[in-house]
């Protein structure tokens, strides 16, 4: 039996009720138990639902969109295909209130995929797209016509194989209905109000280090971070930012945290507390890592893995980033909690 996967993207209002995503989940589970909620959308496996509803995937999708609009006033864009990858690509090209359906046949998949720009494939970032373009590979069809071993010579064994599979519409991802924790947070309260931006940045690194270690320990990745800075007068500033790619690595979390901090333009603000939260968590096994051309990019991650093993055996303070050793070995951030 061919699969039918529905990818929805919701047009949620900025002042939406915090309970709205859960209400939408319950609505979607009326159609199929295999619902995976995502940031701003959802994946549904409709394969077993078509016989029950006596409708094809397009008919069920129309009904889902109609009920979401009628019950909650939420418009949605929808993509339907035989794999989550294809459904997600179709949904990204579809305006709110409409749907795109790709039949689960080699001819329909090829007709949809081949004209698309290669950077629309999962895992293809700017550097990879540029390299492929230098060899005349601008569309998915161009890549699909290249032998797998050629792509592996260009990008490496694993990355080349993944790109070859994606270019032919093959995807092993499944809809995972297991809910992941929404967020993971940690904070540091200064002994006295802190004016030094360098101290603020060291604290951000320590918080990112703590979040990264906990994400890796629980096999989760974050798709965004939220920074909260509380001041001496009790007021606070909160800013969120989406990560360039979902990650569990300290270096990437810290870079984004630094960027959010710099955007605040605090100058010499009297800071009492800094909190960092990893948002929209999902299982690490469902991650799509951006293809890289620089082998040196993996070195910090290899060091990180060694540090995790040492910490698991000897405690958190045995290994930590050198920037935190300016005064003394760092203490673990306080009040870290899952939400």
> Cα separation of 293 and 316, whole Å?
32
| Shared-domain flag, residues 220 and 331 | yes
Task: Tell me the per-residue pLDDT of 92-116, one tens digit each, with 9 for 90 and over.
Answer: 999 999 999 999 899 999 999 999 9
CATH number of the domain where residue 258 is located? 3.30.1490.100
| Shared-domain flag, residues 83 and 106 | yes
Is the pTM higher than 0.85? The answer reads: no
Q: Lowest-pLDDT range, 10-19, 61-70, 144-153? A: 10-19
| Shared-domain flag, residues 158 and 189 | no
| Shared-domain flag, residues 120 and 107 | no
Task: Tell me the per-residue pLDDT of 201-243, one tens digit each, with 9 for 90 and over.
Answer: 999 999 998 999 889 888 889 999 999 999 998 888 889 898 8
| Shared-domain flag, residues 163 and 297 | no
* Mean per-residue pLDDT, 67-92: 95
User: Mean pLDDT over all residues of the chain?
Assistant: 85
CATH number of the domain where residue 123 is located? 1.10.150.20
Task: Tell me the per-residue pLDDT of 241-259, one tens digit each, with 9 for 90 and over.
Answer: 988 888 888 889 999 999 9
pLDDT attached to residue 307: 65
> Cα separation of 320 and 74, whole Å?
46
| Shared-domain flag, residues 127 and 205 | no
Among the three residues 84, 111, 138, which one is the final residue of a domain in this structure?
111
pLDDT band at residue 320 under the 50/70/90 scheme:
low
Instruction: Look at residue 173 and tell me if it is in a domain.
Output: no
Instruction: Look at residue 159 and tell me if it is in a domain.
Output: yes
Instruction: Look at residue 317 and tell me if it is in a domain.
Output: yes
pLDDT attached to residue 338: 42
| Shared-domain flag, residues 152 and 232 | no
Instruction: Look at residue 177 and tell me if it is in a domain.
Output: no
| Shared-domain flag, residues 156 and 128 | yes
| Shared-domain flag, residues 215 and 279 | yes
Instruction: Look at residue 188 and tell me if it is in a domain.
Output: yes
pLDDT band at residue 333 under the 50/70/90 scheme:
low
Determine the structural domain holding residue 45 and report its residue range.
5-111
Instruction: Look at residue 105 and tell me if it is in a domain.
Output: yes
Instruction: Look at residue 174 and tell me if it is in a domain.
Output: no
pLDDT band at residue 291 under the 50/70/90 scheme:
very low
**Partner residues linked to 228 by β-bridges:** 238, 275
pLDDT band at residue 331 under the 50/70/90 scheme:
very low
* Mean per-residue pLDDT, 23-48: 92
| Shared-domain flag, residues 221 and 333 | yes
Q: What angle do CA 199, 326, 189 make, to 5 degrees?
A: 35
| Shared-domain flag, residues 196 and 227 | yes
State the total domains in the chain. 3
| Shared-domain flag, residues 214 and 246 | yes
């Amino acid at each position: 039996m061919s699969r039918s996967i529905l990818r929805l993207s919701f047009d949620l209002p900025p002042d939406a009720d915090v309970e709205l995503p859960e209400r939408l989940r319950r609505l979607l589970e009326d159609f199929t138990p295999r619902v995976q909620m995502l940031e701003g959308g959802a994946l549904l496996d409709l394969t077993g639902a078509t016989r029950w509803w006596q409708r094809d995937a397009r008919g069920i999708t129309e009904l889902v969109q109609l009920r979401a609009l009628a019950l909650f006033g939420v418009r949605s864009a929808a993509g339907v295909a035989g794999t989550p990858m294809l459904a997600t690509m179709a949904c990204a090209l579809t305006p709110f209130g409409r749907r795109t359906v790709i039949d689960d046949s080699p001819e329909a998949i090829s007709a949809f995929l081949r004209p698309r720009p290669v950077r629309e494939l999962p895992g293809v970032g700017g550097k990879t797209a540029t390299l492929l373009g230098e060899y005349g590979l601008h569309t998915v069809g161009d890549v699909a016509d290249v032998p797998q071993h050629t792509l592996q010579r260009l990008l490496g064994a694993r990355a080349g194989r993944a790109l070859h599979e994606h270019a032919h519409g093959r995807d092993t991802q499944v809809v995972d209905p297991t809910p992941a924790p929404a967020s993971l947070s940690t904070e540091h309260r200064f002994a006295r109000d802190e004016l030094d931006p360098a101290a603020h940045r060291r604290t951000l690194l320590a918080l990112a280090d703590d979040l990264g270690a906990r994400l890796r320990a629980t096999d989760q990745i974050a798709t965004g971070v939220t920074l909260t800075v509380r001041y001496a007068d009790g007021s606070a500033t909160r800013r969120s930012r989406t990560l360039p790619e979902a990650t569990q690595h300290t270096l990437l979390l810290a870079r984004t945290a630094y960027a959010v901090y710099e955007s605040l333009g605090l100058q010499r603000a009297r800071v009492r507390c800094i909190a960092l939260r990893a948002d929209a968590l999902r299982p690490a096994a469902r991650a799509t890592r951006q293809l890289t051309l620089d082998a040196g990019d993996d070195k910090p991650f290899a060091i990180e893995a060694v540090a995790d093993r040492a910490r698991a055996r000897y405690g958190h303070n045995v290994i930590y980033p050198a920037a935190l050793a300016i005064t003394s070995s760092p203490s673990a951030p306080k009040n870290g909690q899952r939400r």
